[in-house]
Structures are given as C-alpha cells and as structure tokens.
C-alpha cells in the first residue's frame, strides 16, 4: 500500500478534509456578516446624522423652534456616538479573533448593541423633540 494504510483511513481523512473545508467556509461567511454589520451600522448612523444636520440647517433661522433645534442637535450627537461604536467593532472583532478570548467577543457584541441603540435613541430624540415643539 503505497499511499495509505487502508480504505477506511482514506475515507476518514476525506471526512476530516470536508469538515475543515466546511468550517473554513462558515468562518468566511461569519466574517463577511460581521463586517457588513459594522458597515451598515456606521452607514445608518452617519447618514442619519447628516440628514438631521441638513434638517437643522433648514430650520436654523426659525425663532419658535428652539426646543426642536436642541433635540435635533442631541440626536446628531447620539448618532455620532453610534458611528464611533460601529467603527470600534472592527478593532474589537480583530482582537476577538486574534486572542480567541470571550471577553473581546462580548465587547464586540456590546458595541453592535450600542451602535444600534445610539441610532434608535438619536432618531427618537429628534422625533420626540418635533412632537413636543408642535404642542
């Protein structure tokens, strides 16, 4: 037997190769998903901040919208914090894969939640400020 010890050995080695290939593919999919999540969260937070900034510029000279202007500025600040959290995901994901510890992975998941939460809070702050200024 030149190449292998037995047909069963060949079959087992082929099974191991298939599992390793599947794990590699799953890791690639997971990496792409995490990368797209970070990009998406940075995009919605940054886009929301830019949209609120354009809206703020349009109503800046209105004298009776002081409370609304304040709430829009606070909404922009929340969305800017969301961009920072979204960009921190790249570093935290790198550290999680580099070290293999669960604490970096947990920090990455917390950053995802914070970026999404900042977008929701920033949007809610701007909308609720508009609703309160109507009263």
Q: What is the pLDDT of residues 59-71, one digit of tens each?
A: 888 888 888 899 9
Beta-strand ranges (E) seen in 32-110 are none
pTM of the model: 0.76
DSSP secondary structure code for residue 1 in this structure: -
Q: How many other CB atoms are there within 10 angstroms of residue 34's CB atom?
A: 18
- At 10-58, the pLDDT tens digits run 666 776 777 777 777 887 887 788 788 888 999 999 999 999 999 999 8
Confidence band, pLDDT 50/70/90 cuts, at residue 1: very low
**Average pLDDT value for residue range 90-114:** 87
DSSP state, 59? T
Tokens of 88: 């921190």
Q: How many Å apart are CA 134 and CA 68, to the nearest integer? A: 9
pLDDT at 3 over 80: no
């Amino acid at each position: 037997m030149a190449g292998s010890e037995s047909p069963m050995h060949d079959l087992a080695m082929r099974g191991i190769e298939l599992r390793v290939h599947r794990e590699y593919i799953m890791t690639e999919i997971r990496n792409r998903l995490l990368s797209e999540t970070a990009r998406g969260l940075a995009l919605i937070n940054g886009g929301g901040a830019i949209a609120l900034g354009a809206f703020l510029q349009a109503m800046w000279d209105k004298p009776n919208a002081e409370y609304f202007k304040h709430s829009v500025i606070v909404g922009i600040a929340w969305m800017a914090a969301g961009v920072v959290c979204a960009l921190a995901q790249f570093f935290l994901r790198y550290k999680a894969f580099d070290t293999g510890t669960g604490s970096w992975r947990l920090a990455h998941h917390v950053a995802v939640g914070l970026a999404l939460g900042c977008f929701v809070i920033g949007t809610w702050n701007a909308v609720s400020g508009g609703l309160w200024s109507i009263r």
